[in-house]
Structure 1
Amino acid sequence: MYSVVEFSEDDSVAIVRSSWISPTKKHSAWPPFKNSEKIKKCLTGTILDDDTWNVFGIRRIFYVTDDLLSARKKCKEAELNSEVELDIELKRKHKKTTRYLSVSSEEEDDGHGMNFPKPPKEPGRKQIAEETEAEMDNTGVLVRQTSDISTSSVVASNAVIARHLAKLEEGIKELQLNQKEILERLRSGATATAVAVGYQALSLPEGVNLPCTQIEEIKKIDVWLTVDENYMLLVNHLSYVGGNKTSAILRRILEKLFSNKLAEICNWSGKNGKHKLQDHLLIKVVTEALRRHKVAETATENEIKTVVSNWFRFSKDRDGGRESRRRTIEPTSIQQ
């Protein structure tokens, strides 16, 4: 719906969307653009109004219609004759207009476009307060109280209010989700603390020495892990390893369990004559301790297997292994 209005500040006439006009019919929002293409998009609804737009006082409404072309014609008539009476015309809109609008008299007019006047000066607080004085009905009951409204916070239409309410509702939902997550973390933290106290998770008993340096030590720990309390004790102990990514946490857990020399003779599947780790209880402990972390609780078996396999595969590159091989290769290359 479009309205042809006369601004009270400078007597200029322009087309506005009816949704820009305030419920009192005394103010209208106006887009803060100088580009004619953007103003056209505002009129056709491609760019929606919001509370950042300026609001200006209007003296009267000449014409109301749901057809933009009709509004253009009436706007031209109103510019030539200020005595045009209020007229309301409603038609079924079949197709949106695609003609361009101009905002300067210097631009070409194709016969269908119109020249938009410059928006009037922003009204001051006093003017708005006077125009929104309390209105009384026939019985003398106060209908609306006087409001001293700042131009930067004037709500141009009910649509703007609805958008603000929607944003508030969205913010409330987000706060509720954050509070729920905080409560879950507090509960999980309390549970972890209780388990840690019950099983003395921060320390291991004498006789359990980590990291393992020999295959026999892995087998002894596997036997020790067959007792449920021992199993949970090691899980809790390893769950305190820090990290912000699944792969980083997993590598740090493996470093606590296996020395680098032992890692060189082990792998996941036992290929190439190396010791097979896949079926050890110690690997199951690694998986469970990893999933105690929030960032790794959804880690898949395949992801865990990939990181573990690579950690053992590249064990020769750690502890200076890669640099040592480089130094061995360089003299050979020089002699050649």
Structure 2
Amino acid sequence: MYAVVTLQDSDEVMVAPSHWLSTDKKQSYWPPFKSPEKCMEAVQNRVKPETGGKTWEKLNISFHKESVSFDKAKEGQKEITEQKERSFLLATGFPGILQRQRPLPTPSTSRMPADDKDDLLQMLRDIKSTVQENSAMLKKLLKENTASESPSSTSLPNKDIKTSPNLPLRTFEDVVRTEMELTNATTRQKYLKYLSRLGGFGAKDVIKNIMQQVLTDDLAKEFNWQGRGEKKAFSRLILTDVIRDAASKQSVLRADCEAEIKAYLWHRINQIGRKRPRVCEGVT
């Protein structure tokens, strides 16, 4: 038997032999090999989860389903991966990625062309792969820093330096990357902890401090709350939920949080608009 699982640390959907899983199916042994081919070989051959007599590390997982054969499990892996990718794209709602600026056809009358679907899924796989590579590199660097720095009685490492997210966001590509990262519970908690520490006096000050850390002014002017006109909808981002949670830790009510975010985005648009030079009778 083979199981289809999601590795919680990397959010990857993988196939694993059923006997690698713990009884409650919340953890699984995982091979320490760097080569993907060697890992795949270990899975297919259902090897004993140890190397040189040393048992492999257990990773936290989310269990999805079991199959009687490796090929059936791979089909399940592909199906679940595509479901997660579609859910992510629907959650972000960016025109040009999934929701194009035209009415969507109903399933009963027409379907998305196969080529468009494949291109769409491949685009998301590329984004997800980049996020996972960056995440793995960051974990490695943090681990090396932790090992090389031993705190003394007079000075302690600054935790914010190690755990602060990659902010502010400067482009829509940054937004897509961050939305992917925030589907992982651990990463979401890291963002929440960072933003909730920014502080402020009153709802307006708290939201201003958070938004200035989250978006550059040039990117902020491309958003409004509902996505009216040519702007993107800030209210539909996972990041917005994280901001709400961070603000609530500073005793900011949800309604006040949303009102201040709307005001902040409106102010950014008008502030940048006022900076543009006026044209009068053909002369700048």
TM-score (norm 1): 0.34
TM-score (norm 2): 0.40
